[in-house]
Structure formats: C-alpha cells, structure tokens
Amino acid sequence: MKTFKLVALTLLHEQKQDIPLIDGLMINKEDENKRWLVEAYIEQTYRELFTSLKENGTTFDALVTISRTTNDPAHVRATVRSVTLMGERISVLMDATIVKRSNLAEVVLEDLVQRGLHGETLLQQFKQQMHTKKG
C-alpha cells in the first residue's frame, strides 16, 4: 500500500462543492479494483452532509488531488465508511475507486456543460476555473 497527502477534495454530488481540508490522506490499496481509502480531516460544518451520505449508503463522485494543489485531480466514486468526531472537527473515512483519470480541462469543462453554460459564459467560466485550479 502507498500513502499520499490529500490536498484537495471536491464533491460532485447534487452540486459541486469544494471541501476545505485541515488535513487528509489517501491510501492506495494497490488491488485489482483500484480501491483507495480516503481520510479527510475537516470542520464540523460538514458533519451533517457526510453523516447523511453514510446513513443513506450513497455512492457519490468526487475529485481528489494528492501531493500538490497543482496536480490534476483524479475522479473517484466513493462511499462514506465513517464520520468520527475529533474535538471540534471531524474525520471522514471514505472507500473510493478511481473512475477515470481525466485531465483537469476535461473535468472542468464537463462540469460547466452539465451546469448548462454555453457560449461566452462557458468560455469565461472555463478560463476562471482553470486559473483557480492550477493555482
């Protein structure tokens, strides 16, 4: 198994939502199913969201970035294994599988098109998000 620092987490469930990380890690289980264990240490603000996902057994898509924020995110499909209260914060443990390795431009463009953007608005939002994601 290999462990990596999780530096960014974006949920793609119902709406795109960046989850600010206090800390996090990803463990590659190195199995034939490309399974990963993801831990996000975050503010308690997100407790209800992740508890609901766990209780409902919801499978959701997310973008995860490891090591450096300038790395392209990987698209994963995940389920919440546990939500643990740790003082004023929570630890969310997720089981994830890599869906596809996308380059950042494809991920951003797909999201914008799914939101119904087109024309000049699409182009402006694409440029803005690419600049923001690349740091």
pLDDT confidence of residue 135:
46
| Residue 46 DSSP one-character state | G
Output b/e per residue, 69-108; b: 16+ Cβ within 10 A: eebbbbbbebebeebeeeeebbbbebbbeeeeebebeebb
Q: How far apart are CA 51 and CA 80, in angstroms?
A: 8
What pTM was estimated for this model as a whole? 0.74
Q: What is the pLDDT of residues 32-47, one digit of tens each?
A: 877 999 999 999 999 9
Q: How high is the pLDDT of residue 30?
A: 85
Confidence grade of residue 102 (pLDDT, cut at 50, 70, 90): low
Give 86's pLDDT tier (boundaries 50, 70, 90).
very high
What is the Cα–Cα distance from 129 to 131, expressed in whole angstroms?
5
